[in-house]
Amino acid sequence: MLHSGLIGRSITKSRSPWLHEQEARAQGVALSYELIDFTQRSLDDAALPSVIQDVSDCGFAGFNVTYPFKQQVIASLDALDDSARIVGAVNTVAIRDGRLIGYNTDMSGFRQSVIEGLDGAPMDRVLQLGAGGAGAAVATALLSLGVGRLDIADIDMERVSGLAAMLRARFGAEKVAVRAPHDRDTVEIDGIVNATPVGLRSNPGLPIDAARIEPRHWVADIVYFPLETELLGVARTKGCRTLDGSGMVINQAASAFEIITGMAADRDRMRASFFTA
């Protein structure tokens, strides 16, 4: 039997076990996908290296990583794939002969989600909320899709400044602007993307004042539990074009499944599994 799992906080409702185990079962392979929830287990963030060592010692083929460890995990890895090096964050780890190799499938997952769900949407100027590990992947995806200027806001100025510097080095200084923590002005904005944990079932609320959302905006949220976040509910009520987190999670999960198991994933089948979980 193959073993994999997910390391993060407040992940007991994650659909990842269902997605991975169902896809393996459809291919005639037994796979056990374990949720390692630091909140549920009352673990401090500092326990991450020892948890990763335990997972490796238990014979896992690999594991996924989510909030808040997508950047912290890098220090515990032996190597990074180009996908993780470009983004500066890891959400998938393959274990091969005792070596831990980090990948990022969030970027390609979100990128494909935008292609599928926001075709033709204006991308001259986009406001992104959140500059953490997921935010780094989302920002890279947006700029790779041709966003004219990406404004990034985060409560941690050091974190957002670091992300902006990395993105400017790759895409150009004029492509990225840093917003002050509470600067959520949307007058010149085409689209709004939530890449923060605000909106999760465990962290409800709006990441931006509802009054800042106008019918002309498109609004995307990477949160997928719940699928209909308060942000998307407000946006739909106002007539905005919206994109929920399902496309990102399905596409990133399919790529992660391939990296961890070495088997090709059927994305249509995984999409069907997601909506029947």
Q: How confident is the model at residue 195 (pLDDT cuts 50, 70, 90)?
A: very high
The token duo for 241 is: 């074009």
Interval 57-73 mean pLDDT: 97
pLDDT of residue 116: 96
Q: How confident is the model at residue 182 (pLDDT cuts 50, 70, 90)?
A: confident
* Euclidean distance between CA atoms 246 and 5, whole angstroms: 19
Catalytic positions, written as ranges: 70
* Euclidean distance between CA atoms 66 and 195, whole angstroms: 12
The token duo for 272 is: 């069907």
Q: How confident is the model at residue 221 (pLDDT cuts 50, 70, 90)?
A: very high
Domain ranges of the chain: 2-104+248-274, 107-244
| 55 CA to centre of own chain | 22
The token duo for 170 is: 């790759």
Residue 43's CB is within 10 A of a number of other CB atoms, namely 16
Q: Is the predicted pLDDT of residue 30 greater than 80, yes or no? A: yes
Burial class (CB in 10 A: 0-12, 13-18, 19+), 255: buried
Q: Assign domain 2-104+248-274 to its CATH superfamily.
A: Leucine Dehydrogenase, chain A, domain 1 (3.40.50.10860)
In the chain, the percentage of residues whose pLDDT exceeds 70 is 100
* Euclidean distance between CA atoms 64 and 251, whole angstroms: 14
Q: Residues 238-268: pLDDT tens digits?
A: 999 999 999 999 999 999 999 999 999 999 9
Is 117 annotated among the ligand-binding residues? no
Domain 107-244: which CATH number of 3.40.1190.20, 3.30.160.20, 3.40.50.720, 3.30.70.120: 3.40.50.720
Is 132 annotated among the ligand-binding residues? yes
Pairing of strands 2-8, 241-243: unpaired
Q: Is the predicted pLDDT of residue 277 greater than 80, yes or no? A: no
Is 28 annotated among the ligand-binding residues? no
Helix orientation angle between 246-261 and 16-26, rounded to the nearest 10 degrees: 50
Is 8 annotated among the ligand-binding residues? no
Is 82 annotated among the ligand-binding residues? yes
| 84 CA to centre of own chain | 12
Shared fold status for 2-104+248-274 and 107-244: yes
pLDDT of residue 133: 96
The secondary structure of residue 180, as a DSSP letter, is P
Is 245 annotated among the ligand-binding residues? yes
Residue 161's CB is within 10 A of a number of other CB atoms, namely 14
Q: Is the predicted pLDDT of residue 119 greater than 80, yes or no? A: yes
